[in-house]
Amino acid sequence: MLEIRNLHATVAGEEILKGLDLTVKPGEVHAIMGPNGSGKSTLTNLLAGREEYAVASGEVLFEGKDVTELEPEERAHAGIYLAFQYPVEIPGVSNLEFLKASLEATRAAQGKEPWDAVTLLRQAREACKQVDLDPQFLKRGVNEGFSGGEKKRNEIMQMLLLEPKLALLDETDSGLDIDALQVVARGVNSLRSPDRAIVMVTHYQRLLDYIVPDYVHVLADGRILKSGGKELALELEQRGYGWLTGEEEASA
């Protein structure tokens, strides 16, 4: 589904990704861990098409096609979804209006039948329920005055409606208490299917207790240093990253 080969990428002229390789097959869940500044968020944002992130060399193939030249909305239409680490507020635009615009554009591009207003509202309410979000949130401005946890749940709610093929979760667990974490995890797990893949970036092993990955990768200094199964995360939890990056101090 996703094939990244020898990817070099820069942000504001600085090389952040330095030859990254990653292969994700349908149905798989990958966790990417690593110290701060290792390039984890760069990777997810770049995959979603953020303009400030420039590909210097290498390939990003999504379902066999190079997506590096695609606009962010085209990637969304292709089925890539990014759940933001810090979802931005759009004051005055209701969540429902936003979802309507998003779903109209995306479903049209995907050749899916459009949802009428009633269907949209029913589906949106259902999605809210799945992530324990009061349906009143549909009327509120996008992320406007939401708590950190509400923003994250809102991201997952949108994802449930858009049904992406590839879900990129950028530190979706940060700022969540254990109850909210379970709710979010339940939402994500409900999307797990043989034709869908999930790549989640996280600092903490605890997320992986709830969304159990098939693979864990350690990203440091712009490269995948080590890959393994879910037990690798436990090892990282105990030992930190120092033993991999060659640095003495361990950062959790």
Among 12, 13, 14, 51, binds another protein (CB under 8 A): 51
- Which is it for the CA torsion 18, 71, 196, 190, positive or negative? positive
Among 88, 113, 145, 248, binds another protein (CB under 8 A): 88
Distance of CA 70 to the CA centre of its chain: 18
At closest approach, how far in Å is the CB of 118 from another protein? 15
Cβ nearer to another protein, comparing 73 with 179: 73
Residue 92 near another protein by CB under 8 A? yes
Cβ nearer to another protein, comparing 104 with 179: 104
Residue 158 near another protein by CB under 8 A? yes
Site string for another protein, 111-150 (x = CB under 8 A): ------------------------------xx--------
Among 5, 8, 18, 50, binds another protein (CB under 8 A): 50
Nearest Cα to 16, choosing from 223, 156, 249? 223
Read out DSSP for 204-252? -THHHHHS--SEEEEEETTEEEEEE-THHHHHHHHH-SHHHHT-SS---
At closest approach, how far in Å is the CB of 151 from another protein? 11
Nearest Cα to 80, choosing from 125, 21, 24? 24
Tell me if 15 sits within 8 A of 69, measured CB to CB: no
Question: How far, in Å, CA of 212 to CA of 189, rounded?
Answer: 9
At closest approach, how far in Å is the CB of 236 from another protein? 29
Residue with tokens 């939890």: 237
At closest approach, how far in Å is the CB of 164 from another protein? 10
Interacting residue ranges for another protein, rule: CB under 8 A? 48-52, 71-73, 75-77, 81-82, 84, 87-88, 90-93, 97-98, 101-106, 108-109, 141-142, 158, 162
